[in-house]
């Protein structure tokens, strides 16, 4: 008798679960901010000579983060086979430039020949203005990296994900 009651209860629960309509899952989307500039493309060129001499730094600023935004994540996105010129030690450090200078992340920019590439550098609490400084990561080796930042390729700030 107990077996029959348990089986009936389980069968009823399964039928009710199957009959209940379920809402389809939707992909979460993020809002995206682009670097501050007069227009695109923004031509980034970060380099230094041997022994860390003749450094060429680049600034990266997002001044269009809305008040109340959350979950700001600095990303670099490249479509397949995107042109990036690099030589020597081309790894770059990304330093915060809002107040105290702190290492925010390190990345070696590259694009895949067959698929889009995405690098997540780091995330932080959103501010209306978020600024960074880009420089070659090595203290003493020569290196260079250059690319054109457009709305389809380069740095973005994802938020509200």
Report pLDDT digits (tens) over 24-68.
Answer: 555 568 999 999 876 778 899 999 999 988 999 999 999 989 999
Give Cβ neighbours of residue 26 (< 8 Å, ≥ 6 apart). none
Separation between Cα atoms, residue 105 and residue 115, nearest integer Å: 24
CATH entry, 29-159, from 1.10.287, 3.30.10, 2.40.50, 2.60.120: 2.60.120
Q: What is the mean pLDDT of residues 150-156?
A: 93
β-bridge mates for residue 16, sequence order: none
For the chain, counts of helices (H) and of strands (E): 1, 11
Q: What three-state secondary structure class fits 35? A: coil
Distance, CA of 111 to CA of 130 (rounded, Å): 25
Token pair listed for 17: 């679960």
- Average pLDDT of the residues in 5-18: 46
Question: What are the tens digits of pLDDT across the range 70-98?
Answer: 999 999 999 999 999 999 999 999 999 98
| Nearest Cα residue to 76 out of 103, 100, 112, 52 | 112
pLDDT: which is higher, 132 or 10: 132
User: Residue 7: pLDDT above 50?
Assistant: no
Question: Is there a contact between 137 and 92 (Cβ–Cβ < 8 Å)?
Answer: yes
Q: Tell me, what's the pLDDT at 3?
A: 45
Output the pTM of the full model.
0.79
- Tell me the mean pLDDT in the region 131-151: 95
CA nearest to 46, candidates 158, 156, 157, 154: 154
More confident residue, 117 or 42: 117
CA distance to 38, 40, 143, per residue, from 151 (Å):
13, 7, 26
């Amino acid at each position: 008798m107990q077996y029959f009651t348990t089986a009936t209860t389980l069968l009823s629960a399964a039928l009710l679960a199957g009959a209940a309509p379920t809402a389809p899952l939707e992909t979460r989307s993020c809002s995206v901010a682009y670097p501050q500039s007069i227009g695109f493309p923004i031509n980034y060129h970060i380099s230094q000579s041997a022994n860390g001499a003749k450094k060429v730094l680049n600034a990266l600023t997002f001044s269009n983060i809305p008040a109340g935004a959350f979950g700001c994540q600095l990303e670099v996105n490249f479509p397949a086979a995107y042109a990036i010129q690099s030589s020597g030690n081309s790894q770059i450090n990304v330093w915060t430039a809002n107040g105290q200078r702190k290492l925010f992340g390190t990345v070696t920019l590259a694009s895949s020949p067959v698929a889009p590439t995405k690098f997540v550098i780091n995330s932080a609490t959103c501010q209306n203005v978020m600024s960074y400084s880009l420089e070659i990561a090595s203290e003493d080796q020569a290196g260079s990296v250059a690319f054109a930042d457009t709305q389809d390729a380069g740095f973005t700030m994802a938020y509200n994900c």
